[in-house]
Amino acid sequence: MGNFGIWVLTICLIFQSGFGFYLPGSYPLKHVVGNYLSVKVNSLTSIDTEMPFSYYSLPFCKPVEGVKDSAENLGELLMGDRIENSPYRFKMHTNETEIFLCQTNKLSSDDFKLLTKRIDEMYQVNLILDNLPAIRYTRKEGFMLRWTGYPIGVKIKDVYYVFNHLKFKVLVHKYEETNVARVMGTGDAVEGFPSVGNKGSDVPGYMVVGFEVIPCSVMHNGDLVKNLKMYEKYPSPIKCEPTTVSMPIKEGEPIVFTYEVTFEESDIKWPSRWDAYLKMEGAKVHWFSILNSLMVITFLAGIVLVIFLRTVRRDLTRYEELDKEAQALVNEELSGWKLVVGDVFRAPSNPALLCIMVGDGVQILGMAIVTILFAALGFMSPASRGTLITGMLFSYMILGIAAGYVAVRLWRTIGFGDHKGWVSVAWKAACFFPGIAFFILTILNFLLWGSHSTGAIPFSLFVILLLLWFCISVPLTLVGGYFGAKAPHIEYPVRTNQIPREIPAQKYPSWLLVLGAGTLPFGTLFIELFFIMSSIWMGRVYYVFGFLFIVLVLLVVVCAEVSLVLTYMHLCVEDWKWWWKSFFASGSVAIYIFLYSINYLIFDLKSLSGPVSATLYLGYSLFMVLTIMFATGTVCTQKMAH
């Protein structure tokens, strides 16, 4: 019955990933005709620098009521999102053209230099309507490409042009309460969904299911707008031609901004409105590559497991069948792992450090499993910005209790049940990996602060993170350490000799085999790694968490099997120092991921410019590979300890 449940869960995850359905992070809003829709702005982003900046850091139009920050969660702040209100506003199902927004002040020398610099760095403007990012379609070589946001401007023959006229298209679908009830999985709670406006629920309304933008560069007559107020009609027709530009940026000259909006009824249902964002190019390659990789790695892992079990079982059976007299006669003929029985459980060098790293690895691995599983089930969909990071952070803190328990129990196991020093081990487990992360992220944060990027973590958020660390994670880790000290330690099946056995000279360095062992775990995830990297650094939406969960489970299995086989090979050559080698056997996959990250930087992020951007990329990559090393290394050490 257990195997059947696993297969059902697997099929559900694949089905969920394939069809892109998610449990919404927000409920559908009913907008009555004529109600105002407010557009929000997010940080300016670029794949050229990977440093986000505030929308209002450039000379754009500001709302009449002033710039206000929207409610943000912890994940949005950590990701560099700064969502603010904008002057763009629409009336539901009301088409409008030639809407005057504002005329900026004359561009100062600093504004001109900053604006042209952002255009050179290919920065994009990100707009949001009813939680939907603005999407832009372009055609290239017969293919329709999708982009989120639009560029600030373009440079043609040493002349900079700004996109100062936006043509919006809002797709709407009639509000149907029966459909909403079916989507939300409830039949009685429909009356609880709020409607925008103060009209009754019987008044027909619409839901926003699409938000498209076409940027244009239009030359405006500054004299015609001197007496115009925001949202008044521009005096002359505006022709929006996306293929032509006509508004050059000049120092000392103002910029006039206008926009138009059309509404179009669509057959797109509210639960499917994110499909346009989730249709990644090369989707078929993605699915078939992942499935092919899973099948090959599963087959190889099965072979490794069968060979290992048959070999060890044969040796054990032959060894147990010998009576004591026969053992005495063949003692001199024994070889391999049977000769190191009295040394195999000897304490490793730096046992406290190993216990701390294993405890932190359990915490990281548990966080990954919980987060990816919830994301695969749809509770952390792309529609809810920042929820993935927030979920990871809080699950990591809660799982501090597991880190303390595992670290202290392993410490007592290595020390043959000795309780001495368990508080120190638990405390260090609570501070070791978070301390490394805090050190790396602080250095990177200083670089972002120096660049005035919104990606920099505010000082107030730093204080909040420290409070969460020391008020939640550290106490829970100490509580877990207390339970680990009270729990019975793992009893070794054999006694350890007082004098360690000399390890024979090896034909080749054993660490070469350890480093090479990471290739097989790397083979389970390198294809998925490409899509994850593209999501992080190329601004693409990652949503196939079902397959990611399966890859994670398969990675754990392969790591355990590789470590078991490698440890057996070391014991066969009478090398009983297996603890650290077991940890790094699969933890060495982090080396190949870091090399892959460098390869991705050279060949896929060719446009990444500047030492600050490269330092940020390598710093975040280092943090990622250290996290993966802790998570994968702990799988093997825990398996071998048991």
**Interacting residues of 184 by C-beta distance below 8 A, sequence separation 6+:** 24, 27, 190
The rounded distance, in Å, linking the Cα atoms of 203 and 451 is: 50
- pLDDT at residue 2 greater than cutoff 70: no
Amino acid making up residue 26: S
CA nearest to 126, candidates 385, 447, 380, 381: 385
Q: What pLDDT does residue 215 have?
A: 96
- pLDDT at residue 642 greater than cutoff 80: no
In which region does residue 130 sit, left (phi positive, over 0), alpha (psi from -120 to 50) or beta (all else)?
left
Interval 358-369 mean pLDDT: 96
The rounded distance, in Å, linking the Cα atoms of 172 and 205 is: 10
Interval 90-102 mean pLDDT: 94
Q: Are the CB atoms for 29 and 207 separated by under 8 Å?
A: yes
**pLDDT tens-digit readout, 561-603:** 788 778 877 777 777 778 888 899 889 999 999 999 999 998 8
**pLDDT tens-digit readout, 278-296:** 765 445 555 665 676 677 6
**pLDDT tens-digit readout, 217-235:** 999 988 888 889 999 999 9
Q: Are the CB atoms for 107 and 249 separated by under 8 Å?
A: yes
The rounded distance, in Å, linking the Cα atoms of 483 and 504 is: 41
Q: Are the CB atoms for 120 and 156 separated by under 8 Å?
A: no
Q: What pLDDT does residue 586 have?
A: 87
Interval 148-174 mean pLDDT: 95
% of the chain surpassing 70 pLDDT: 81
Interval 171-184 mean pLDDT: 63
The rounded distance, in Å, linking the Cα atoms of 100 and 81 is: 28
Tell me the Cα Rg of the chain. 30
- Taking all residues of the chain, what is their mean pLDDT, rounded to a whole number? 82
Q: State how far the alpha carbon of 201 is from the alpha carbons of 93, 266, 267, 498, in Å.
A: 18, 21, 22, 82
The residue among 633 and 381 whose pLDDT is bigger is: 633
What's the whole-model pTM score? 0.84
Q: What pLDDT does residue 16 have?
A: 42
Q: For residue 206, what pLDDT band results from cuts at 50, 70 and 90?
A: very high
Amino acid making up residue 112: F
Interval 535-554 mean pLDDT: 82
Q: What pLDDT does residue 571 have?
A: 77
Q: What pLDDT does residue 321 have?
A: 59
Q: What pLDDT does residue 423 have?
A: 94
Interval 148-159 mean pLDDT: 94
**pLDDT tens-digit readout, 251-262:** 999 999 999 999
